[in-house]
Structure 1
Amino acid sequence: MSTLAHPHTEPSSDRMEEDLRRLSADDATIAPSEIAVGVIIGRASEYFDFFVYGIASVLVFPAIFFPFAERLEGTLYSFAIFALAFIARPIGTISFMAIQTRWGRGVKLTMSLFLLGISTAGMAFLPNYASLGETSIVLLAVLRFFQGIALGGSWDGLPSLLALSAPPKRRGWYAMIPQLGAPIGFMIASGLFLYLHANLPTADFLDWGWRYTFYVAFAINVVALFARLRLVVTDEYERLLKQRELEPAPVGEMVRSRSGSNMLIGAFAALASYALFHVVTVFPLSWITLNSTQPVNDVLVVQMIGAAIAIFGVMASGRIADRIGRRSTLGSVAVAIAVFSICAPLLLDGGIVGQDIFILVGFALLGLSYGQAAGAVSSNFAPRYRYTGAALTSDLAWLIGAAFAPLVALGLSSHFGLIAVSGYLLSGALCTLIALRVNRALEIRG
């Protein structure tokens, strides 16, 4: 196998990389279980950061950054800034891959996670609109954009390495392991907001209480950084990555190759899952809060239960995929999401019971679909492009399917009714089914 040559590095960066290796040199061999733990910790910390912002964009930001607007408009403004991180992700992925090529994987990961932590913690120190005016909104948008840059840069290849380490009959099980970070991160973020919102007066919560969630995000990022560095900067990990050709490849070269179309197919193949992602996490909280159909704390409790269900759904997806195949699993769940989309307006408009059913069933479907959403067609990438292709396919899926989901779902449903939510979810399910069909046809033809 051929690997990409690394250019000559500066002595200072060599010393930094060597220091990082000494910190992690206590293990000569990396077991798949260690890789799995590193993946879950890393993903959970990243999702925690993003869900902290998502929940705050409903409960906090409309009041403190957009007090001049109606509550609906303020929430839509928050969701517009929410989308900036997903626009920035591919930029971060490409930029930090260049950093990795020049200075090494450990330096890249350290820089990206510190940028993620600083961007998140920086939001905790932002003055509100009453103190700083429109400048506070600009600063919020800049920090959100840097969150996306950092998340794109935090791609470390661990999920791909884990997938390639899987026994032939357990690939579905190994593929779901990185996806556990999403419901775990959401559960922790929701639980923290629930505790603060339930135990503080509204004035204190909006003044300073919400800021603690962003401080916690920085602390979790530091823990996650060292958990991942323990693997990433070891000689054994580098050897395994080079054996499997998990190194950055030039993006332009990849796009011009056959792998460029694989990236598009892979992104659309996962669209049902990514479209559902924020429609069952961020959107219900905004819809229920704006319409005052039940207390915020009750919604957060139900969503935490939903996240627990999603954890079991993710694990179940691994078992199912090992029986019927990952693509068949994605296709079957896409059909289920299409059926769910038809029921969505009835459930959301069905009072407390209907809304709770929407959240719980939505999380169950999310676990089953998201568990296999990553890498369903990644085997189509040539080995040289697998590392770069997997990262950019994920970025593209998030951008197309999830970035604007809260904004579109809330904006359209407020003007045209909840049938708009059905249309959004149904379009994602149809895109998944079409992409899987196209991928199948290309495989047969190839």
Structure 2
Amino acid sequence: MSSTFQEHGDPSNSSAAHIGRLQVHAKVAPGEIAIGVVIGRTSEYFDFFVFGIACVLVFPSVFFPFESLLDGILWSFVIFSLAFVARPIGTTIFMTLQRRWSRGTKLTIALFLLGSATAGMAFLPSYTVIGNWAIALLAFFRLLQGVALGGSWDGLPSLLALNTPPQRRGWYAMLGQLSAPIGFLIASALFLFLHASLSHDDFIDWGWRYPFFVAFAINVVALFARLRLVVTEEYTHAMEERDLEPIGIVSMLRAQGYNIFIGAFAALASYALFHLVTIFPLSWIVLGTTQTVNSVLIVQIIGAFVGILGIISSGIIADRIGRRTTLGTCAALIGVFSLFAPWLLGGSEFAQDTFIIVGFFLLGLSYGQAAGSVTSNFETRLRYTGAALTSDFAWLIGAAFAPLVALGLSTRFGLAAVTVYLLSGVACTLIALRVNRALAARE
């Protein structure tokens, strides 16, 4: 049985498994699974993007008033990265909870924890009120966000990959990825409305807290939408028949631990680009005062729509040339794009806007198929846990420190640091895909 990255889905080729697929497919419609994935993951991305935008617009004034604007943003980005560090820990803890109780129990606890941690930030006093405790509590809630996000893995992306026609796997893989630009679009639009409607003092005093309140309500809606799928008899049966159940982390690492890193690095160019076109441009432009905050947010909202078009295009392209080829081609395009990053971000308003719009389209093309490297590497019995850990490490290695590293190095050495950062992600992706191809040929 091949454990490497498959171009066409399920590694099992036996006639019995094929019959099983047909039986499950008859009960579980891929479109319904995709809707559940989009609704559920949009809430998660909204939570994280609300925090990311606040790292630039709010936290330097509220929690780091004793630092310069640059240092305040950098310290905020340090706290931003903590959730990605905690995410694999959350996956490990909640996999244990699911084995002991149920998928529904795990998901309920995880999403309430995610919503509560995000909403809890809205109640935090500023540094001027309680001093360093404000920063410590912000970091604590951010860690809880990461733990909760690790626990929110429900296996629906893997179930979707296993229950789609082979010739349409690229199309259905991209559907779940639409949640990223949708979540960013909602978060940016909400901040734009508040920032444009309120005075600066009111926005910093209380206006910024509203998106964090909204996050809890969105998570409740997402919880019920996902529970409607994962706790019903037909979906439980589908999960069990596909062996989409958690196994021990140690057993997973012993059996196919290397696939976690192949899968994580295979999409690294996409993850490296992720925060460099969403969070980083806002911080760079705000520091340079080349555009107003509202102007940047408007362009990024447009970029989110362009990203949606890119993701949809990736589904069409991947079904024609394959997911692995799509990932490799997109990595090469990101490499070319990175060469123009210093000129675009350091240029006029039009050039900066071009960086954001083009970056979002490339992000959509690449990120639209990033899930393929997460769901296809593993034996069926390992896929549930393996996919979750692969996603965790892809975010940790590729995206967690991107805003911090890019801003810190760019302010000291120039925007060429963005080029170097993106090229490193491109190199990792191309090497991982090459290694995967060699393993596939050997097996």
State the TM-score bracket (shorter-chain normalisation): over 0.9
Q: 1:372 aligns with which of 369, 373, 387?
A: 369
Residues 1-400 of structure 1: pairs in structure 2 closer than 5 A: 29-257=27-255, 259-376=256-373, 378-400=375-397
| Residues 263-322 of structure 1 deviation map (CA, whole Å, 9 limit, x = unaligned) | 100000010000000000000000000110000000000000000010111111011000
The answer for the alignment partner of 1:443 in structure 2 is 440
The answer for the alignment partner of 2:415 in structure 1 is 418
Q: In 2, Cα distance between the equivalents of 1:233 and 1:417?
A: 51
| Residues 126-182 of structure 1 deviation map (CA, whole Å, 9 limit, x = unaligned) | 000000100000000000000000000000001110111110100101111110000
Q: In 1, Cα distance between the equivalents of 2:131 and 2:330?
A: 46
Q: In 2, Cα distance between the equivalents of 1:78 and 1:86?
A: 14
Query: Structure 1-normalised TM-score?
Result: 0.93
In structure 2, give the amino acid aligned to 1:84: L
In structure 2, the residue corresponding to 1:280 is in which secondary structure?
Answer: coil
Q: Which moved more, 1:369-378 or 1:417-426?
A: 369-378
Q: 1:286 to 1:377 in 2, by over 3 A?
A: closer
- Which runs of 5 or more residues in structure 1 are unaligned? 1-27
Q: In 2, Cα distance between the equivalents of 1:357 and 1:380?
A: 36
Q: In 2, Cα distance between the equivalents of 1:30 and 1:268?
A: 31
**Contact 1:90–1:395 (Cα < 8 Å) also in 2:** yes
Q: In 1, Cα distance between the equivalents of 2:194 and 2:397?
A: 33
Q: In 1, Cα distance between the equivalents of 2:359 and 2:372?
A: 22
Q: In 1, Cα distance between the equivalents of 2:147 and 2:372?
A: 22
In structure 1, the residue corresponding to 2:373 is in which secondary structure?
Answer: coil
In structure 1, the residue corresponding to 2:206 is in which secondary structure?
Answer: helix
| Residues 212-247 of structure 1 deviation map (CA, whole Å, 9 limit, x = unaligned) | 000111110000000000011111111000111100
In structure 2, give the amino acid aligned to 1:344: A
How far is the alpha carbon of 1:32 from its aligned partner? 2.0
In structure 2, the residue corresponding to 1:281 is in which secondary structure?
Answer: coil
**Contact 1:65–1:128 (Cα < 8 Å) also in 2:** yes
How far is the alpha carbon of 1:117 from its aligned partner? 0.3
The answer for the alignment partner of 1:22 in structure 2 is none
- Which runs of 5 or more residues in structure 2 are unaligned? 1-25
Runs of 4+, deviation exceeding 6 Å = none
How far is the alpha carbon of 1:350 from its aligned partner? 1.0
**Contact 1:30–1:231 (Cα < 8 Å) also in 2:** no
Q: In 2, Cα distance between the equivalents of 1:400 and 1:277?
A: 12
Q: In 1, Cα distance between the equivalents of 2:100 and 2:234?
A: 20
Q: In 2, Cα distance between the equivalents of 1:68 and 1:443?
A: 55
Equivalent pairs counted in the alignment come to: 418
Aligned identity (percent) is 69
Q: In 2, Cα distance between the equivalents of 1:205 and 1:111?
A: 32
How far is the alpha carbon of 1:30 from its aligned partner? 4.0
In structure 1, the residue corresponding to 2:372 is in which secondary structure?
Answer: coil
Q: In 2, Cα distance between the equivalents of 1:373 and 1:248?
A: 22
Q: In 1, Cα distance between the equivalents of 2:29 and 2:437?
A: 34
How far is the alpha carbon of 1:253 from its aligned partner? 1.1
How far is the alpha carbon of 1:29 from its aligned partner? 4.9
Q: Which moved more, 1:376-385 or 1:263-272?
A: 376-385
Q: Does 1:407 align with 2:404?
A: yes
In structure 2, give the amino acid aligned to 1:439: N
**Contact 1:251–1:388 (Cα < 8 Å) also in 2:** yes
Q: In 2, Cα distance between the equivalents of 1:183 and 1:331?
A: 22
The answer for the alignment partner of 1:19 in structure 2 is none
In structure 2, give the amino acid aligned to 1:322: D
How far is the alpha carbon of 1:377 from its aligned partner? 6.1
What RMSD over aligned residues (CA atoms) do the two structures have, in Å?
0.9
How far is the alpha carbon of 1:98 from its aligned partner? 0.5
Q: In 2, Cα distance between the equivalents of 1:389 and 1:30?
A: 23
Q: In 2, Cα distance between the equivalents of 1:175 and 1:378?
A: 9
**Contact 2:161–2:375 (Cα < 8 Å) also in 1:** no
Q: In 2, Cα distance between the equivalents of 1:377 and 1:326?
A: 12
Q: In 2, Cα distance between the equivalents of 1:52 and 1:152?
A: 18
The answer for the alignment partner of 1:20 in structure 2 is none
**Contact 1:375–1:390 (Cα < 8 Å) also in 2:** no
